[in-house]
């Protein structure tokens, strides 16, 4: 069962076409990672799925319905996005920012209710940011900010979560914590997770489904075992990689690599 279907999509920024006649599906209830070199269209693809970027041709379907034709607030009840790092206005506190995640569930001028607070508290809890919920976001470190924005996306309480490089700015421990959190959300709450990941070992360890992009096109997709092969990595990333098995998860991981010979 697919939750997203991208059908013959062409899009890009201004006159620059980034992806052309693109076709892809994203499975429901699974973790999908999009990997590829810089500038391959990963973020563009994620922005297309979240209707942040309008498409020139084609259609993006969510559960069979055109996402650009749907009421945008109804889309927001199903789908949240963690964008790449962004600044918050001066003085905005962590708790206030996370509260905005409840916006799609509110009528104009409706205040937060018990159910909203439960969602906010839960998001604060699972992202481990309880210690600084009353501080201004602008005063936090990069890693703390990243977790706060993630908490905001989680407070939106959607069944689909899209993340643009969620582990950036985080140290090794928090990278694992965030990825474990996403995995448990997927397993226990049946959330569909789609993320752009820079670290393909992380992608391999935590995804059910991988999509390798290059120059705006899919070069390989499928289970990590299908994508994490020497020939695919050589084609997509232009490196010679040594692949072995992760001792913790038995998934394929790169132990080292060099530039393509």
Q: Which stretches of the chain bind other proteins, using CB under 8 A?
A: 13-15, 47, 50-52, 54, 72-77, 79-81, 83, 86-93, 96-97, 100-101, 103-104, 106, 108-109, 152-153, 156
**CA-to-CA distance for 42 and 197, rounded, in angstroms?**
9
Shortest distance, CB of residue 166 to other proteins, whole angstroms? 14
The residue (of 50 and 186) whose beta carbon lies closer to other proteins is 50
Shortest distance, CB of residue 17 to other proteins, whole angstroms? 13
Token pair recorded at residue 76 = 């927001």
Strands 16-27 and 2-13: antiparallel
Shortest distance, CB of residue 257 to other proteins, whole angstroms? 32
The residue (of 11 and 167) whose beta carbon lies closer to other proteins is 11
The residue (of 54 and 173) whose beta carbon lies closer to other proteins is 54
**CA-to-CA distance for 161 and 99, rounded, in angstroms?**
17
The residue (of 78 and 183) whose beta carbon lies closer to other proteins is 78
Shortest distance, CB of residue 50 to other proteins, whole angstroms? 5
**CA-to-CA distance for 9 and 93, rounded, in angstroms?**
39
> 134, 129, 72, 82: which is closest to 104 by C-alpha?
72
The residue (of 87 and 231) whose beta carbon lies closer to other proteins is 87
* Alpha helices per DSSP H over 162-219: 172-189, 200-206
> 161, 211, 156, 151: which is closest to 186 by C-alpha?
161
Shortest distance, CB of residue 248 to other proteins, whole angstroms? 33
Shortest distance, CB of residue 70 to other proteins, whole angstroms? 10
The residue (of 74 and 250) whose beta carbon lies closer to other proteins is 74
Q: Which helix (H) or strand (E) holds 236?
A: helix 230-237
Q: Give, in degrees to the nearest 5, the angle at Cα 165 between 255 and 47.
A: 135
């Amino acid at each position: 069962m697919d939750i997203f279907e991208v059908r013959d999509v062409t899009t890009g920024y201004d006159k620059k076409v980034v992806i052309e006649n693109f076709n892809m599906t994203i499975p429901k209830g699974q973790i999908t990672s999009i990997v590829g070199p810089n500038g391959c269209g990963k973020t563009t693809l994620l922005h297309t799925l979240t209707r942040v970027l309008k498409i020139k041709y084609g259609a993006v379907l969510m559960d069979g319905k055109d996402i650009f034709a749907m009421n945008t607030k109804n889309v927001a009840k199903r789908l949240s996005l963690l964008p790449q790092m962004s600044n918050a206005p001066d003085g905005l506190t962590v708790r206030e920012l996370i509260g905005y995640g409840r916006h799609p569930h509110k009528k104009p001028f409706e205040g937060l209710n018990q159910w909203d607070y439960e969602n906010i508290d839960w998001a604060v809890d699972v992202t481990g940011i309880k210690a600084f919920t009353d501080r201004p976001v602008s005063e936090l470190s990069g890693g703390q900010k990243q977790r706060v924005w993630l908490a905001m996306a989680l407070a939106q309480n959607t069944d689909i979560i899209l993340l643009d490089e969620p582990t950036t700015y985080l140290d090794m421990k928090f990278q694992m914590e965030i990825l474990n959190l996403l995995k448990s959300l997927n397993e226990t709450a049946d959330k569909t997770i789609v993320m752009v990941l820079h670290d393909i070992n992380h992608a391999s360890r935590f995804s059910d489904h991988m999509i390798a992009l290059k120059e705006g096109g899919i070069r390989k997709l499928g289970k990590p075992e299908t994508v994490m092969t020497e020939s695919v990595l050589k084609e997509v990333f232009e490196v010679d990689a040594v692949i072995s098995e992760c001792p913790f998860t038995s998934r394929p991981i790169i132990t080292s690599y060099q530039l393509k010979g």
